[in-house]
Amino acid sequence: MSQQQQPIAISNVDSFLGYVLAYRFLQGRRQEQQQQEIRVLARDPQNVQDLERMGAKVIQIDYQNEQRIQRELERVSLLLMIPEDSSNARQEGDVLIRAARQANVQYIGLFSLVGADEAQEKQQRAVRNILELEQQVQQQFRDKHAILRSSLFNQIFYYLDPMIEGRNQLDLPVSQERKWSTVDVRDIADAVYNLSRQNGQRENTFFGTLGNEKRLYQFTGNQTRNGQEIVREWSQALGNGRKIEYKQIQPQELEQYLRGIRDDSRFRNRPDDNNDQDQDDRQRRDRPHSLPLGRFLNDEFIRLLNDIFALADRGKLENSTRDLQQLLGRQPQEIGEYFQNNRDNFNKLR
């Protein structure tokens, strides 16, 4: 069996990134009329029934049963690993990496965060845990791995839109002078899917150019912006040009706000769209599968967001790369364009 026919596996599809990534691979399999099995690992299969209907093999993961995880990963050529949003994320990641190694998974791509190597051990513990998983993957898989670091997703602004709309102000725990970037989660999914379909230059590589010399990808926008520049883009696209202020707040204030959004009825369910898989993506507009839900905002994910903003406030997210553009073969969607293309989606929150 060729490597491109052997199963691939995607972990933590309960998460926002995991769900969107699995959706993209299943969509690609249908469009290219592939037969490759796609295994998705989820804590709660009820959350990913749409993926099962699209043909995924849904596996309920139990991190207390490493041997079962190992069995479920047998014959897998590629594991796309998204760290869990849990208080035991580091330990659970170690279990999955060991199981993958014992199952002879051929290649692993670990999703991480831009700036992870700048995380302070105590102050940004959630990010530091992911950095330690990077180190584990490097040790266990040596030349059969890639680290895929990403910036924050543009889609975070759906959560923040009620704040901006209600207060005429964007409140974040980042100094207004600091610059940082966001990326469209669908651009990330497209880039990783493209990599998985490329042929490596060396024999027996599955994951395209990830099987060559490059081990670290850093997915950022082509530009970084500070808080004032972001609210200006929002105002032009979504606020009818009205003046929006930017204010630096304490992390605890953002945490309190996001906990409220978690229970907000507007973020409870995905909108119905029976033709989601067949939509023309040239508009580069979010579909139901790429709209964030309130349940993604558990306490650990909120803590992770605050850690990322702390990195931005320390000036550690001001660099940009062309990695994402090169893998997409086009410009990634910048935040102003993203706001414009998703006006209808944002307006539905109001």
Q: Could you tell me the CATH number of the domain that includes residue 81? A: 3.40.50.720
pLDDT score, position 275: 54
Three-state secondary structure along the chain? CCCCCCCEEECCCCCHHHHHHHHHHHHHHHHCCCCCCEEEEECCHHHHHHHHHCCCEEEECCCCCHHHHHHHCCCCCEEEECCCCCCCHHHHHHHHHHHHHHCCCCEEEEEEECCHHHCCCCCCHHHHHHHHHHHHHHHHHCCCEEEEEECEECCHHHHHHHHHHHHCEEEECCCCCCCECEECHHHHHHHHHHHHHCCCCCCCCCCHHHHCCCCEEEECCCCCECHHHHHHHHHHHHCCCCCCEEEECCHHHHHHHHHHHHCCHHHCCCCCCCCHHHCCHHHCCCCHHHCCCHHHCCHHHHHHHHHHHHHHHCCCCCCCCCHHHHHHCCCCCCHHHHHHHCHHHHHCCC
Whether 275 is in a domain gets the answer: no
pLDDT score, position 201: 40
pLDDT score, position 204: 44
Task: Report the number of distinct structural domains present in the chain.
Answer: 1
% of the chain beyond a pLDDT of 70: 91
- Model confidence over 83-122: pLDDT tens digits? 999 999 999 999 999 999 999 999 999 999 999 999 987 7
pLDDT score, position 6: 86
State the pTM of this model.
Answer: 0.93
Q: Which residue segment(s) compose the domain that 169 sits in?
A: 8-269+286-347
Mean pLDDT by 10 residues, the chain (350 residues): 75 98 94 88 96 97 98 96 96 98 95 94 88 96 93 98 96 98 98 78 48 79 96 92 94 98 95 60 84 98 97 96 94 96 94
Whether 277 is in a domain gets the answer: no
pLDDT score, position 120: 82
Whether 85 is in a domain gets the answer: yes
Whether 3 is in a domain gets the answer: no
- Model confidence over 21-78: pLDDT tens digits? 999 999 998 888 778 899 999 999 999 999 999 999 999 999 999 999 999 999 999 9
Whether 133 is in a domain gets the answer: yes
